[in-house]
């Protein structure tokens, strides 16, 4: 484990943006600004966070491999 993987904590910003959506019950009708994935209301938000987390995790892994390759 290297500290480069701590980059995933930057994904918490997206999590805190989405947290109000997860704390409320699913609305009865689709919001106007919501994509056409209405039956999966909470899943769409989870994918947004998962994509952000995945990018930071991948960046951390790449930096970790580069660190090992350069500095041994």
**pLDDT tens digits, 39-60:** 777 888 899 999 999 999 999 9
Q: Note the pTM of the prediction, 2 decimals.
A: 0.78
Containing domain of residue 40, as a range? 3-25+36-71
Averaged confidence pLDDT in the chain: 89
In-domain check, residue 31: no
Residue 34 has pLDDT above 80, yes or no: no
Residue 32 to residues 26, 29, 41: CA-CA distances in angstroms? Answer: 14, 9, 13
In-domain check, residue 67: yes
Q: For the chain, what is the domain count?
A: 1
**CA 72/CA 70 separation, integer angstroms:** 6
Q: Which two tokens stand for residue 32?
A: 């106007």
**CA 49/CA 32 separation, integer angstroms:** 21
Q: Which two tokens stand for residue 23?
A: 């704390």
In-domain check, residue 30: no
Q: Are 63 and 9 contacting, i.e. CB atoms less than 8 angstroms apart? A: no
In-domain check, residue 44: yes
Residue 1 has pLDDT above 80, yes or no: no
């Amino acid at each position: 484990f290297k500290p480069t993987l701590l980059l995933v904590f930057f994904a918490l910003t997206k999590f805190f943006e989405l947290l109000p959506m997860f704390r409320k019950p699913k609305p009865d009708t689709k919001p106007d600004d919501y994509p056409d994935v209405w039956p999966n209301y909470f899943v769409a938000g989870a994918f947004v966070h998962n994509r952000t987390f995945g990018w930071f995790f991948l960046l951390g892994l790449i930096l970790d491999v580069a660190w090992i390759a350069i500095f041994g």
